Structure 1
Amino acid sequence: MRASAVAAESVLEFFPALRDLGLVRHAFIGRIPGIDVALDRSAALARLDTAHHDLRNDLDLGGSRFATAEQVHGREIAVLDEPLCAGCCVAGADGLVTNQTGISLGTYVADCCAVFLVDPVRRCIGLVHSGKKGTELAIVVRAIETLRERFGSAPGDLVVQLGPCIRPPHYEVDFAADIIRQARAAGVRQVYDSGRCTACDLQRYYSYRAEKARTGRMLALLALRPFD
């Protein structure tokens, strides 16, 4: 299915806190209508690949190198500070940070939280996959530390945005609230939460738990805009 055949308002979400910076391109791609994804993860992603590719093009990210993490529910953050091959997937990582234009960061989720991090002062970004385990391991704090260590980011300059994820009462742990507490404890003042629950709206989102593991994945995207 061509992305242009899908009503954008039913598929794409944008977050004002990131949009208003004028520094990044971003999106959260939800459920794609008309594609059967009652499959395991790899098969579902294969069926979604064309639609996701078309939407990246529609978002003006088609010319960027697309990078993802393997997403092993750990706390490793990969630093992308040089040109990449196309379709790069970083083994063993659950988060990516970069200060390079021309790289589009991607994270697949279906109940876990995609966490966007942007430093408008140092012009660097991060995108993290944080579910129950990743939150217990404080992966977002690790991403904040990595941005500071590699690019000189001050936590107080960061803008952190949480995407849709599963929440109580559909899940026993409110890891979104834990992520917010961790980010604020690390010194981030600007923390924003979409407040949306993936298991509450299966017309709009995929939910690993609600759909008993056989479902698709949403795709979070984040890229630095080119210098003017």
Structure 2
Amino acid sequence: MNITERNVNGVVYLTADGFEAAGGVAHGFSTRLGGVSQGIYSSLNLGFRRGDDPKHVAENYRIFCAAIGVDPAKLVFTNQVHGDIVRTVTAADAREGLNAVVEYEADGLMTDVPGVALTVFSADCLPILLYDPVRRAVAAVHAGWRGTASGIVTRAVEKMRDCYGTDPADLLAAIGPGISKCCFETHEDVPNAMTEAMGACALHSIEVLPTGKFRVDLKGLNAERLENAGVLPEHIAVSQDCTACLPERYWSHRVTQGQRGSQAAVIALTDPV
């Protein structure tokens, strides 16, 4: 599978061609291009808690949802806390207004209800979308380095198997734009967490620098976790876009030191024809 760029009425976003080939699902990874926000939030900011004008954010959601083909009234958000909790959601979790308070904390959402639009946010951390076209179920995962170490994407695969009867070999997975190995320079705490959690298989995603610091490939580590959970390698698409390298296309928390908007990744089952 591959990640493909789309442009619908000036809204630039990414999709997984395998999802589109399978049919029955609407999805997209946003960029910062195509919205109405101003200044540091220019232009398609989808984060409500970043300091942007709420009216601009609401209009950005209307624009983005129209481009990817989901109903903004059926979006489901979560409070992301860099953990490994995956929450099962239904139509009852859909937003009562885009700025409504979310009571629960989770870094993954999943559903088998058509129309419910699962949403996760990112600005260096990885957005990961999962689709089971056989059992008709989807999941959206937010994986920073802590979530990667704790195995949230593995939890999502396991929970889809347990709740929906998903066979991991049927799953399609898309790892969206996030900070890449080229820019994710860390102290020893990050590689130590990865090797403690994943053992020697994590080592090929970790580079030791002459300075004593490390570069870590979060995309590679999450692809490794997906394969270890039973997802076929040919069913995994990985965006090569690095949010830190492409400030004109994406927000990077590291690059902006937190003064930024947010990307979003959204996925929803469509009604069967």
Q: CA deviation at 1:119?
A: 0.5
* Greater displacement, 186-195 / 85-94: 85-94
Q: Distance in 2 between matches of 1:40 and 1:168?
A: 28
Residue by residue over 1:1-56, the C-alpha shift from the partner in whole angstroms, topping out at 9 and shown as x without a partner, is: xxx99623xx2222212211112101111114662236994314845332122221
TM-score for the superposition, normalised by structure 2:
0.75
Residues 90, 116 of structure 2: 8 Å contact kept:
no
Contact 2:83–2:107 (CA<8 Å) still a contact in 1?
yes
Distance in 2, Cα, partners of 1:142 & 1:72: 15
Q: Which residue of 1 aligns with 2:188?
A: none
Q: Is the 8 A contact 1:114 1:129 kept in 2?
A: yes
Query: Aligned-pair distance for 1:141?
Result: 0.2
1:102 aligned partner:
115
Distance in 2 (CA, whole Å) between partners of 1:26 and 1:114 is 12
> Which secondary structure does the structure 1 equivalent of 2:255 belong to?
coil
1:78–1:90 contact (8 Å) kept in structure 2? no
The equivalent of 1:216 in structure 2 is: 261
SS at match of 2:127: strand
Change (3 A) 1:63 1:169: closer
2:246 pairs with 1:201: yes
Where does residue 81 of structure 2 map in the other structure? 72
Q: Deviations over 1:47-71 (max 9, x none)?
A: 5332122221343312651101211
Aligned to 1:25: 26
RMSD: 2.3
Which consecutive aligned stretches of 4+ in structure 1 deviate over 6 angstroms post-superposition?
none
Q: Give the CA deviation at 1:164.
A: 0.5
1:129 aligns with 2:142: yes
- Say whether the 8 Å CA contact 1:41–1:214 is kept in structure 2: no
Gaps in structure 2 of 5+ consecutive residues: 1-6, 42-46, 186-215
> Does the C-alpha gap of structure 1 residues 45 and 109 become closer, same or farther in structure 2, counting only changes over 3 Å?
farther
SS at match of 2:62: helix
List gaps (5 residues or longer) in structure 1. Answer: none
Q: Hey, what's the Cα distance between the residues in 2 that align with 1:12 and 1:91?
A: 28
- Give the structure 2 partner of residue 55 of structure 1: 64
Aligned to 1:15: 16
The number of equivalent residue pairs is 223
Q: Which has the larger radius of gyration?
A: 2
Among all aligned residue pairs of Structure 1 and Structure 2, give the percentage whose two residues are the same amino acid. Answer: 29
Q: Rate the CA distance shift 1:92–1:14 in 2: closer, same or farther, 3 A.
A: same
What is the one-letter code of the residue matched to 1:53? R
